[in-house]
Amino acid sequence: MNTDRLSQRLEAVANYIPKGYRLADIGSDHAYLPCYAVKNGMVPSAIAGEVVEGPYQSAKGQVAEEGLTDVIAVRKGDGLEVLSVGEVDVVTIAGMGGALIASILENGKTKLEKVQRLILQPNISAISIRTWLRNNGWELIAENMVEEDEKIYEILVAERGEVDKPYGNLQEGLLLGPFLMKEQPAPFKKKWQREMTNWKRILTQIEKAEKNAENVKKIEELQQKIRLVEGVVK
Domain limits, the chain? 8-166, 188-230
Characterize the bridge pairing of strands 151-160 and 117-122. Answer: antiparallel
pLDDT of residue 71: 98
As a whole number of angstroms, the distance between CA 226 and CA 5 comes to 39
pLDDT of residue 1: 65
As a whole number of angstroms, the distance between CA 121 and CA 94 comes to 4
The arithmetic mean of pLDDT across residues 69-95, rounded, is 97
**CA quadruple 167, 169, 174, 175: dihedral sign:** negative
Q: What is the pLDDT of residues 134-185, one digit of tens each?
A: 999 999 999 999 999 999 999 999 999 999 999 989 999 999 999 999 999 9
As a whole number of angstroms, the distance between CA 93 and CA 154 comes to 12
Q: What is the pLDDT of residues 116-145, one digit of tens each?
A: 999 999 999 999 999 999 999 999 999 999
Residue 25 phi/psi, 5-degree rounding, is: -110, 110
Q: What is the pLDDT of residues 69-80, one digit of tens each?
A: 999 999 999 999
Q: How confident is the model at residue 210 (pLDDT cuts 50, 70, 90)?
A: confident
As a whole number of angstroms, the distance between CA 159 and CA 137 comes to 9
pLDDT of residue 15: 97
pLDDT of residue 184: 95
Cβ(45)–Cβ(89) under 8 Å? no
Q: Name 210's bridge partners.
A: none
pLDDT of residue 206 exceeding 90, the answer is yes
Find how far residue 43's CA is from the centre of its chain: 20
Q: What is the pLDDT of residues 17-75, one digit of tens each?
A: 999 999 999 999 999 999 999 999 999 999 999 999 999 999 999 999 999 999 999 99
pLDDT of residue 234: 76
Residues 6+ apart with CB under 8 A from 88: 21, 22, 23, 24, 47, 115
Closest CA to 46 of 65, 59, 61: 59
If one looks up domain 8-166 in CATH, what number appears?
3.40.50.150
Find how far residue 98's CA is from the centre of its chain: 6
Whole-prediction pTM value? 0.94
